Structure 1
Amino acid sequence: MTTEVGTRLRSDARDNRERILAVARLAFAAEGLEVPIREIARRAEVGVATLYRHFPTKEALHVEAFAEQMDFCSTIAQDALDAADPWVGFSRLIERMMEQHALDRGFARAFTSSLPPAAGFAAERDRTLRSLLELIRRAKEAGALRDDFVLEDLSLALMANEGIRAATPDLRVAASRRFAALMLQSFQADPVRRELPPAVRLPVSRA
């Protein structure tokens, strides 16, 4: 009987943890990092104390919630470095990164934030940033990327891209692809005029 109870408790704890992570991923992606811990606990149907037993800080929850996205960013950065043509690698990275950021507001803010994130997240982000800096160096040496481009220009583009508002995720991605094409033309040392992806009708905000 004691063994059965212990197994059930471990199973319940595992289910709670997975449910908290699932809710947190959805909340951060849709609403950004400002979603309160209490609200995440409420949506996951657990107590705040239960949430904190699994994730002692909000930063710890960020690390777990964004683990897959950080792996994705590290992968696309390495894929870009492996490309034979630095400009092709740089372009693919911009396109894929903007698509990811258009779909996930929370991750976009965590990645571009100037505030120090939790150690695990920071280490992974720093590795990706080092890959980006190396790719930028190579693209400049190849004469493809304008000499005055700096990493902060990419951060600006990602922040602007994160602001895309559209009715569905597919439309956000489509709008992001057009924006990425515009940005790449502006980043290029000798811009080549190419046909842009189709425009997407977006809501117009009124002051």
Structure 2
Amino acid sequence: MNQKEYSVKIFWMNPFTYLAVFTVLVCEWGFITWFQPPFSIMVGVLATGIIVFAAWALIFFKFGSFQQRYSSLPYELERKELETLLKSAAAPFKKPALDLLDLLSNTRQEFQSQIFQQELDSMVSNLRDLSRNHVQLFSRVHQFGTEAQQKKMALILQQQAQSVKNSLEALRSFSGSLTLLDAHPDDHTKMGSNLKAINQELQNVIQEVL
């Protein structure tokens, strides 16, 4: 699902959209039934209903709540793709990856610093890329290659799982320090560096199978 499709989904999931549709239909039906106007006026009434609904759509897409959700679309789409990928991952990789994904979501919600948001979003992207590589490698490890090659692939799979575990522990340490930021604002730079280090480790493991 791309951003446009997801935006339309957000619009139709909003209860006020259903209320707008219901109100327009009831008003038009009531007017036409009660007054029984000629065809030309009926067309005008229907056109007015369409214009009113279009006005609601315009207002909706200008709402701050929609803008906030729209700005998070890239993250949401990557998260959904990642969740799908992890269904086919090996168990030693899947469990810490899901835990890391949940922790990333919680950390993004609790801490809104734009600098850290970018690093957290990058971490989701890196985890997605690593998971894609992992799933591809996991599907081949027992089917292709010589015995030596299969052992090498198995070792890479273990390294990938360990990298995710390391990232999970590092992010737990990071999220546990968030409450201290107000008292120690100078720690922003240090903590930002910690996030960059987590991302770098994930990227290094990704590069090993490219």
Same fold per superposition (TM over 0.5): no
- The TM-score with structure 1 as length reference comes to 0.29
Bigger-Rg structure (1/2): 2
- The TM-score with structure 2 as length reference comes to 0.29
